[in-house]
Structure 1
């Protein structure tokens, strides 16, 4: 797959990864998360980009970033609570936020499959 896609998609993958990791670092201001998350997303993304298609990685990551936008306040509040030592038994995600996130990631995956044809 690497040889079949042009360098534009690989450049988009780098930019998308940087923007997504920056957004997540702003929304979840925990030092350990800021260090570990980029490695995790790049590791998983490299597998998807090489084994499946780089377009799927790019558009799904865009969908994930957009899909988490409504929940950014909750993520920040929960990370501050965890840093203070407050633990909850459950973290209740609003169903509408979860549905929006799933819709955005699925839309990105569908768009990637349409572009792959």
Structure 2
């Protein structure tokens, strides 16, 4: 259904989800370097998803992979939302120069992240086929 939209709309959807994700990370951590690195990784991930979709046995189209990318990144952003205060704390420590041996990420935040990404990926699969 969504994969039948014109390609510019799908590209705009992917760009919007990337922008919202990078904006959220920038606001939560307040570190520009991390935001730039994640932006580059998001672009690489999008291109990688389109390439892997072409190599699959089912031959997923670029349109379907753009829908999946947009929904997965939106799910990631929604899933990271409950842990925003934790990211603010870790970002403040990084800016002050404090380095921990390990950074704790509680199980309740992990569960929210996993559920959000899985639900959004299932929605993307349903809406793109």
Question: Which 5+ residue runs of structure 2 have no aligned equivalent?
Answer: 54-64
Aligned-residue offset at 1:4 = 6.4
Aligned twin of 2:75: 63
Aligned twin of 2:31: 30
CA contact (8 A) 1:62 1:108 kept: yes
- Following superposition of structure 1 onto structure 2, how do residues 44-59 of structure 1 map, counting pairs within 5 Å? 44-52=45-53, 53-59=65-71
Aligned twin of 2:6: 6
* Distance (Å, rounded) in 2 between the aligned partners of 1:31 and 1:18: 14
Aligned twin of 1:82: 94
SS in 1 for 2:102: coil
Runs of 4+ residues over 4 Å off in structure 1: none
Aligned twin of 2:120: 108
* Distance (Å, rounded) in 2 between the aligned partners of 1:79 and 1:86: 10
Q: CA RMSD in A?
A: 1.8
TM-score, normalising length: structure 1: 0.87
Aligned twin of 1:20: 21
* Distance (Å, rounded) in 2 between the aligned partners of 1:27 and 1:58: 21
SS in 2 for 1:88: coil
TM-score, normalising length: structure 2: 0.80
Aligned-residue offset at 1:34 = 2.5
SS in 2 for 1:89: coil
* Distance (Å, rounded) in 2 between the aligned partners of 1:109 and 1:49: 15
